[in-house]
Structure formats: structure tokens, C-alpha cells
Amino acid sequence: MNPSWRITILMNNYVRASGLEAEHGLALALENVGDGSLILLDTGGTREAMLRNAEKLGVDWSRLSTIVLSHGHHDHTGGLLPLIRRLSHSVALLHHPDAFLPKAGIRPAFHPIGAGMGPSDLPPDKATLFPAANDVRLAPDLWVTGEIPRKVEVDREAAAGFYTSRGGRLEEDPVRDDKSIVIEKPGLGYYLVCGCCHSGLINTIRYVKERVPDKKLLGVLGGLHLIGASEARMDATLEELTKEAPGLLGPIHCSGLRETARIYKALGPEVVAFYSVGDRVEL
């Protein structure tokens, strides 16, 4: 299978290579193997760490065409403004309309977890905003999911404990802004690249399968938000993954150490990979 996209992990919770930085955050650079253009999924948590890693990893920001925000939590949006200001050209910023709403978490206590800024804070000559609640195709073989229905009850855990402010009213946040990237391999199947998967991994897999011509799940890379998952949710997730039988599973960021260990035990070392900052994956 010839790779069409090369993914570089610019930010993750774990790092092995000397000189790179890790934090509770996620940023993935997706490079088109054919023309070298870049799509960035998320921007890490702190303002400059992702940029420092990108410089050491040789990322050429002049090739960046699109930034995709998987959702509006601070560990995925922290490096957005510094990156935009550094660019010498304008890029598309794809996000859900809810991404810039105020957001909060309740664990261990009520605290803000939103982007801490709004669209008006972004230089208009550097970022063209595309708020979208629907699926959006960015390349012939790559598209971004829209709102994912929460049909599997146990998967609702992936969005539990979050709040937002809408029209001045505090309410529970189902994280409707959760997005993932789908890479299609015609005649073979598809890869799923997740930011945090607050829609739930089972819901996300089933949503995508309804929309791709080749139903085979070839692999999953990204944050799966399984950390702290109940036994019922872990059992259901492992059952789904066993049924789908992906050839690659790379749980990073919010996937959870113990939860990843369970996946590793169930699917084995031939499938589960432990990626860290600086690693590159060809899909």
C-alpha cells in the first residue's frame, strides 16, 4: 500500500527523543506525499511548545494550507494564535461553530478549558475562517467529519463532565464541535485520525463507515479519550475494535495509559503502536 499522507506528531503527552517537548496537548501535521502541502490538526496546549517542536522537526509552514481544529479545548488550540501570527500567508481555519464558545471542565474542580480567544482575535489577513457543522472534503482522499450522532449510550462518557456558555447561560457541553479526519484508500478502506474523539470511538467509526465506499477500518491514530473509561465502555470499545480488526492502532494524548494497555493486550503488538512527539506515520 503506497502512502498518500505522512503524519508527524508535533505535540503529544509523551516524548522519547532528546530536545523535543511534550505536554498535555495534541498537534498533528499531515503532509501530502504527492505535492508536499500541509494540513495541521490542532495546535497543542501552550503557546510556543508546538512551534519549537515543529522547527526542530523541519516543518515548512510555507506549505501549510489548512488548520483543522478537532474541537475548542485549550490543549488543542493553545498554539493557534502564535502560529497564525508567524505565517507569511493566509490559511484556511476549519472549525465547528461551537469551537470558540467558553468551555469548562469539572474535574477535579470547575475550571476553564476553552480556547481563551475568539475568531476576532485572529489576524484576518492570515486566517480565513470556515465554521462548519457538516462534513468537509479537503482533498480527493481526505475529509473532515461533521457533527457525529451519539447513538451508542456508553460512548456518551467521552463528552461527560464538560460545560459551555451559550447566550450567557451555562449548560452541559456535549462537545458537538468534535471532529476527526478521514483518509480514504480507494479499494482498500480508510484511516481515522482523531483529535480527542469526544463523540466516542464507536460512534465515530460507525458514522464514517456510513459515508465511505470502502468500509474496512485500516487504522486509527490520535486521542481516543478513553482515560477513565468505565468497564462497560472499555468492553464495548474492545468488542468494536476486535470486530473491525484494524491493522494499526496508535492511541495517544487522552487515550489513557491503563486503557491503552488493555487495548494492547487485546489487539497485540502487531497492531498497537506507542507513538510519541517527533514520530512519523505514513498512511
At residue 2, does pLDDT exceed 90? Answer: no
What is the average pLDDT across 27-44? Answer: 97
What is the per-residue pLDDT for 119?
92
Confidence of residue 3 (pLDDT cuts 50, 70, 90): confident
Q: Which of 202, 199, 191 lies closest to 240 in space, CA to CA? A: 202
3-state secondary structure of 157: helix
Digit-coded pLDDT (tens) for 224-244:
999 999 999 999 999 999 999
Q: What are 4-23's pLDDT values in tens digits?
A: 999 999 999 999 999 999 99
- Alpha-carbon distance of 109 to 256, in angstroms, equals 20
**Residue 124 burial (CB < 10 Å; 0-12/13-18/19+)?**
exposed
Domain count, the chain: 1
In this predicted structure, what is the pLDDT of residue 168? 87
118-164 pLDDT per residue, tens? 999 999 999 999 999 999 999 999 999 999 999 999 999 999 999 99
Burial class (CB in 10 A: 0-12, 13-18, 19+), 277: buried
Domain with residue 61: its CATH number is 3.60.15.10
pLDDT at 1: 79
Closest C-alpha among 179, 146, 157 to residue 73 = 179
pLDDT at 220 over 90: yes
CA distance 16 to 199: 30
pLDDT for 181 equals: 98
**CA 22, CA 175: separation in Å to the nearest integer?**
25
Element (H, E) at 257: helix 257-267
CA dist 11 → 59, 207, 220, 253, 272 (Å): 13, 27, 17, 9, 19
Phi, psi of 4 (to 5 degrees): -110, -20
- pLDDT tens digits along 44-88: 999 899 999 999 999 999 999 999 999 999 999 999 999 999 999
pLDDT tens-digit map of 156-209: 999 999 999 988 899 999 999 999 999 999 999 999 999 999 999 999 999 999
pLDDT band at 107 (very low <50, low <70, confident <90, very high): confident
Question: Measured in Å, how far apart are the chain's first and last C-alpha atoms?
Answer: 8
What three-state secondary structure class fits 101? coil
Provide the pLDDT confidence category of residue 213 given band limits of 50, 70 and 90: very high
Angle at 190 between CA 189 and CA 191, to 5 degrees: 145
Domain of 50 in residue numbering reads as: 5-282
Q: Which helix (H) or strand (E) holds 222?
A: strand 217-223
Residue length of the chain:
283
